[in-house]
Amino acid sequence: MIAEIALGYVTLARLVEMRVARANTARLIAGGAVEASPGHYPVIIAMHLCWLGGLWWLAPGRAVVPGWLALFAALQPLRVWVMLALGPRWTARIIAVPGETLVRSGPYRWLRHPNYAIVVGEVASLPLAFGLNAMALGFSLANAVMLTIRIRAEEAALADLR
């Protein structure tokens, strides 16, 4: 039952986030912003869907490892903090807004890419919370590859905003 509650939360949270991200993206683009490097975005979405689908398939009925579940739960307010810090500029895509400066408040005071640090923790901790060590390792490696591509693209797109 704990797996279903945790996965229900993650699924609902990601659906809400994607809706907010789409609305913010549309508004930013309509205001003159430009999307950078959209080619890798479908791969990121596919990877996260496979991660979540794999959890729905494998986690229900498994024993819970409380520490890993607690870590995952502790990351959730940090995810919200990132979204609040970016406000209407928070999107799931790389959107450059000409004339804007980089956000340096909230978690961005300490980390250049706090959302990606949170995602690294989530991708590993939730499978580990249900003893799915191989899944945690496999998706963590895939995520590392994707984040390498993503961060390079984001840094290039936002270079003018520094």
Distances (CA, A) of 91 to 24, 56, 95, 96, 146: 6, 25, 7, 11, 17
146-155: pLDDT as tens digits: 999 999 999 9
Per the model's pLDDT, the better-predicted residue between 100 and 63 turns out to be: 63
Max Cα distance, the chain (Å) = 51
Q: What mean pLDDT, rounded, does the chain reach?
A: 96
Confidence class for position 99, pLDDT limits 50, 70, 90: confident
Looking at domain 2-161, its CATH class is: mainly alpha
**Threshold 0.85, pTM exceeds:** yes
64-96: pLDDT as tens digits: 999 999 999 999 999 999 999 999 999 999 999
Distances (CA, A) of 105 to 85, 87, 88, 108, 141: 6, 11, 14, 5, 30
Cα(27)–Cα(15) distance, rounded to whole angstroms? 19
5-58: pLDDT as tens digits: 999 999 999 999 999 999 999 999 999 999 999 999 999 999 999 999 999 999
pLDDT at 75: 98
